[in-house]
Amino acid sequence: MKSALLFSLFGFIIFSCKTEISEAELGDKTSVKIEPIYTVGKPLEKCDTVYQAGNVVKGQVINAKFKITNTGKIPLIIAEIKAGCGCTETTEVPDNPIAPGDYYIVEGKVKTAELTAKNINKYIKIEANVSPYPLMLRIKGTMK
């Protein structure tokens, strides 16, 4: 009897202790690092969630890229990537979760031929298991 109780207690301790989270459970959140990717030059003002396109000519397409790195301990699950308006296109949702330490590139293409305002301020909304929720990325520029 004593050995059965001891064995049960030992089993409970082993199976109840989690030292590492390997899968996301409902309600779990992860953390991310966001970095705009610039092919030419760097902006004067740096903001992780804003791509600074600078001066653009009407008709030019702005190709903005953001590197989203999973800095948490559970997989990053992106449910939706949605442009704020019809003049902006975005990449598709990844087929698989992004593992801790891995990254995903989100692209936003703004077609300026369809714009009338001089100041460009477009959004990309990303619904994922992150806090703060949702992730909001911006593409800014000035049409000349």
The band of 41, judged by pLDDT with boundaries at 50, 70 and 90, is low
Q: Are 67 and 37 in contact (CB under 8 A)?
A: yes
Q: How many CB atoms lie within 10 A of CB 17?
A: 7
Q: Which two tokens stand for residue 38?
A: 């610039």
In a domain, 2, yes or no: no
pLDDT at position 48, please? 87
Q: Give domain status of residue 14, yes or no.
A: no
Percent of residues, the chain, with pLDDT higher than 70: 78
* Residue 122 falls inside a structural domain: yes
Confidence of residue 18 (pLDDT cuts 50, 70, 90): very low
Return the pLDDT at 7. 42
Confidence band of 57 (pLDDT split at 50, 70, 90) = very high
Phi-psi region for residue 54, left (φ > 0), alpha (ψ -120 to 50) or beta?
Answer: left
User: b/e for 67-89, b at 16 or more Cβ within 10 A?
Assistant: ebbbebebbbbbeebebbeebbe
Establish if 46 belongs to a structural domain: yes
pLDDT per residue over 90-136, tens digit each?
A: 999 999 999 999 999 999 999 999 899 999 999 999 999 998 899 99
**64: domain CATH number?**
2.60.40.10
Would 69 be classed as within a structural domain?
yes
pTM for this predicted structure: 0.79
Parent domain of 115: 29-143
Confidence (pLDDT) at 21? 42
What's the structural domain count of the chain? 1
User: What is the rounded average pLDDT of the residues 54-73?
Assistant: 95
